[in-house]
Structure formats: C-alpha cells, structure tokens
Structure 1
C-alpha cells in the first residue's frame, strides 16, 4: 500500500498555479556580459523570498560538420572552472542580428568557415533557475573557408573531431559542456547518425 500523505508542512500547489509575483526588483551589478538582478518575490502561499538572477542576452551555438564528417570544435580556457573545455562554437547575438546571422558570424570568427547550409536544431534555456540566457543551436554543413577576426579576448584552438568519435568523447567526459552535449546529440539525430 502506498501512503500518499506528505509530511511536508508546505501546502502543495499545483504547478500550473505556482507563480511568483515580483514585489521589488533591483540590479546589483552591471557588467559587459551579464547584469545581476535581485528580485523580492511573493510565493503563492504569501511568503516572501528573494531570487538572484543573472541577466544575459540570447546566444547561439553551432555544430559545424565538414565534408569528411568532422565536427569542427573549439578548445578554449574557461576561467570560471579554471580549465580548458572542448566545445562547439558559440557566442552572443549582437544587437540587430537574427539568431541565424549570429550563428554564421560565430562560425566565421571561431573556426573560419561559412555554411552552405545552416539549420536550426533547437532552442532552449541555458539554466532557467538563475539565468535569462536563451540559446539557439544550429547545424552547419557544406562548409567553405571564410574567416572573420576572432574576438580580442578569445584564445581558441580549432579541433576537428570525427563524428564517430563524439559518442566516446561524451561518455568519457572529454565533452562536458551542456550546450555542446545537447547540440551534438541533436545534430547526430538530424544527420541520422544515431
């Protein structure tokens, strides 16, 4: 017999009714990439609490696949984790750009190619519990050389990875960046490589 009673003293509110009303909002920090906002919110049961929110603009990531079925990934140092990561190219959407235009620009800046064909894989919230960043993931194929200057603060190594090695790199923990994991899995499905 299953006991459906809960010992939790908090009232159970159906998810569709669980919203938070902002009582007060203030920006605590303004930066080049993010702003940090602290919201005081009222929960459905009337309690007041705070939410710390990183405000970040929309972004893109791109899975560039060349004619030999290599994924052109990038290895770069990531200061927050004090380590290098193997990732798909990615970056922010500039004012006035569409997500697709940003994907094409990032592809040119980070790996030095343009795409004969670029297709939207999906779009998703990066980490909606604390951040407003929304990302568009693209698959780029029919690549042609067309580089743009890299961002001044990026030090990137382009790493061609055979698509058949991607699953092994995911399983071994060599690729541990969530946007890369999600977009590579989606690209494999779109290319019917699963």
Structure 2
C-alpha cells in the first residue's frame, strides 16, 4: 500500500529571488481539509568530491552566514537555470577548489530538504586533477583543506564536519572510491 498523494488546489508565489523563490501550495487529500506547504524553489545543485592522485579528499572551509560559523564542506554550487549538472560541477570545481577534473564521475544524488525545498543535488567524484582556477563568487572566501578518507568518521562524530549534504556525498564517494575506483 502506498501513501496518498495530495492534490494541489492553489499556488501562491511569495518571493522571487536570484537563487531561490518561495511559494505556498494549498493542497488536500481527497475529501479532507486543505493545508498549506511552504516550498523553497531551487534550481538544483552539485556537490563535488575531488580526490588527489594520492587519495586525499579536497574539502573547503568557509564562513556560512545562515549558520553563523565557519564550516568544513565538500565543494558545491547552484546550477544555473536549465544548466547541465556536469557543466555546473566543472565550473564549481575551478571556482572553489582551483582544479579541473580529467574525470568527473557521477555517483547519484539526493534531495537536500524535501520537506520544504525542491533542491536536488547531483554528486560527482572528481579525479585526475590539474590546477585551473576561476575567480570565486562575490562574498566567498574559501580555504581548501586535504583530508584522508579514514578521517571522515572522526570529523563527523566530533562535529567538525556537520553539513548534511557534504556528509552524504562524502560517505557515498568513500564507498564508491574504495570499492570501484581505487581498486
């Protein structure tokens, strides 16, 4: 048996921004009462796990205004409207980490916060890295850090790595890399 799917009876747009928009959907189940769902519309994103020749993962550390702290994260970025995720991945790797990938391996993806957001994030492993930087976005000051895959669980359990998108991507990449790529 599957859960019921509600019917959307109205959509009210509240905000249109450069990267996100907000709408309120009014919906209901068959003959039930109407209810509202606030939805953050997002064009989607990519998250990158760049791996050096010696098997180190390149993460970034930057200040995040919403969290009001410096966070250690996997490199990630928002897709332009209609942009192929692979194009976004190549651009973000150069902007945030300063490398071009000889190989960009898609390993799936995930919904970032499906309870209130339409953002889907595509995950890529980047290998065969060559230096090739692009200017970073305004408002970004990023420091690149090398870590060992073996340190991931410690970084998560101690709270040094606490961005859920990064954690999901890193754990997926760790499995794929150790089982299929590194050999």
Indicate the TM-score class for this superposition, using the shorter chain for normalisation. over 0.9
Contact map agreement 1:43 1:49 (CA 8 A) in 2? no
Q: SS at the partner of 1:81?
A: coil
Please give the per-residue CA displacement for 1:46-77, whole angstroms capped at 9, x wherever unaligned.
21111100001111000001112211111111
Q: Does 1:15 align with 2:5?
A: no
Aligned to 2:16: 30
Aligned with residue 48 of structure 2, among 53, 56, 62: 62
Deviations 1:135-182 (A, max 9, x none): 100001111001111011211111111222122112211111111111
Tell me how far 1:104 sits from its aligned partner.
Answer: 0.9
Aligned residues: 180
Aligned to 1:176, the other structure's residue is in SS state: coil
> Residue 158 of structure 2 is aligned with which of 165, 172, 181?
172
Match for 1:102 among 88, 96, 100?
A: 88
Alignment of 1:176-187 (within 5 A): 176-187=162-173
Question: Would you say the 8 A contact 2:98–2:131 is kept in 1?
Answer: yes
- Give the 3 Å change call, closer, same or farther, for CA 133–96 of structure 1 in structure 2: closer
Residues 158-167 or 118-127, more deviating: 158-167
What is the deviation of 1:45? Answer: 4.3
Runs of 4+ in structure 1 off by over 3 angstroms are none
Tell me how far apart the structure 1 counterparts of residues 59 and 30 of structure 2 sit (CA, whole Å): 45
Unaligned regions of 5+ residues in structure 2, if any?
Answer: none
Within the candidate set 87, 94, 116, 2:102 is matched to: 116
TM-score (norm: length of structure 2):
0.93
TM-score normalised by structure 1 residue count: 0.88
Residues 72-130 of structure 1 deviation map (CA, whole Å, 9 limit, x = unaligned) = 11111111111111000000112453111111110000010011111011111111110
Structure 1: stretches of 5+ with no match in the other structure: 1-13
